[in-house]
């Protein structure tokens, strides 16, 4: 089926379910990372997306999944449950 854009709120719930926390906003983009002492450690590249937008574009989802080391299939399954 492939990844499609999704509303911002479910995407944020998904990030929180992984243990990520909101760090700050730079310009139009919200920045997320794992907290200190998280078992997965801090990310080398931060999860970034436009938090004020209604939907998260497919390219932002794909880039952030690569950053997190999560497959499209894993994401699609998890987002159905949120």
User: Is 48 domain-assigned?
Assistant: yes
Q: Which domain holds residue 67?
A: 6-81
Span 37-62, pLDDT tens digits: 989 889 999 999 999 999 999 999 99
The CATH number of residue 72's host domain is 3.30.920.30
The whole-number pLDDT of residue 1 equals 56
| Prediction pTM value | 0.91
Residue pair 9/59 in contact by the 8 Å Cβ criterion: no
H/E stretch holding 28: none
Q: What token pair was written down for 70?
A: 């999560």
Average pLDDT, integer, range 1-23: 92
User: Is 1 domain-assigned?
Assistant: no
pLDDT over 90, % of the chain: 84
Domain count along the chain: 1
User: Is 28 domain-assigned?
Assistant: yes
CA–chain centroid gap for 52, Å, is: 14
Is pLDDT at 2 greater than 80 in this prediction? no
The whole-number pLDDT of residue 8 equals 96
């Amino acid at each position: 089926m492939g990844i499609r854009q999704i509303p911002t709120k479910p995407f944020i719930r998904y990030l929180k379910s992984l243990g990520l926390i909101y760090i700050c906003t730079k310009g139009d983009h919200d920045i997320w990372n794992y907290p200190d002492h998280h078992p997965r450690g801090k990310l080398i590249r931060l999860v970034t997306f436009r938090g004020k937008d209604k939907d998260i574009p497919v390219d932002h989802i794909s880039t952030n999944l690569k950053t997190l080391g999560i497959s499209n299939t894993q994401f699609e399954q998890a987002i159905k449950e949120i």
